[in-house]
C-alpha cells in the first residue's frame, strides 16, 4: 500500500493530510511522528485530514478502538485534534474519538471542514 503524509502550517494550527490507499491502522502509526512535529513547531492544535485517504478494507469496531487508543498520544503532548473525514469514513457514533477522549485526548471528528476548523480554534 502507499500513503503519503503532508504537513502544512496553517493560521493557528498544523494540518496533517493523509493521501493514498492504505490498510487499517497504517495512518495511525504516524501519530507519534506528527505529535513530535507539533511539539517541535510549537503547535498545540492539529487538524488531521483523511479525505484523500482510503483504506482497502472495511474498518471494524476493533480498528476504531485501536485508532482511539493511538490518538491518546496527543493527550500526552497536550495537542487538541480535529479529524476531517469523508462521511463514509466516519462512524456516526464517533467510537474512535470517544475512546481517545476516555484516554484524556481532546479529539473530535467532522465531515465538514469549517466545523472542524471552528471547533479546533475555540
| C-alpha distances in Å from residue 100, one per residue of 1, 6, 104 | 26, 23, 7
pTM higher than 0.85, yes or no? yes
Mean pLDDT of the chain: 94
pLDDT of 53 above 70:
yes
1-5, 7-11, 49-53, 111-115: range with lowest mean pLDDT: 1-5
**What is the reported pLDDT for 108?**
97
Q: What is the C-alpha to C-alpha distance for residues 33 and 3, in angstroms, rounded to an integer?
A: 15
Per-residue model confidence as pLDDT tens digits over 58-99: 788 898 999 999 999 999 999 999 999 999 888 889 999 999
Contacts of residue 120, defined as CB under 8 A and 6 or more positions apart, other chains included, come to: 12, 13, 45, 46, 47, 80, 81, 82
Amino acid at each position: 500500500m502507499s500513503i503519503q503524509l503532508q504537513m502544512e502550517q496553517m493560521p493557528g494550527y498544523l494540518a496533517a493530510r493523509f493521501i493514498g490507499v492504505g490498510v487499517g491502522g497504517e495512518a495511525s502509526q504516524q501519530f507519534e511522528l506528527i505529535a513530535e512535529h507539533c511539539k517541535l513547531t510549537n503547535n498545540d492544535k492539529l487538524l488531521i485530514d483523511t479525505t484523500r485517504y482510503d483504506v482497502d478494507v472495511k474498518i471494524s469496531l476493533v480498528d476504531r478502538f485501536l485508532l482511539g487508543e493511538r490518538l491518546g498520544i496527543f493527550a500526552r503532548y497536550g495537542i487538541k485534534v480535529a479529524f476531517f473525514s469523508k462521511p463514509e469514513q466516519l462512524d456516526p457514533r464517533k467510537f474512535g474519538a470517544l475512546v481517545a477522549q476516555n484516554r484524556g485526548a481532546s479529539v473530535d471528528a467532522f465531515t465538514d471542514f469549517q466545523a472542524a476548523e471552528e471547533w479546533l480554534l475555540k
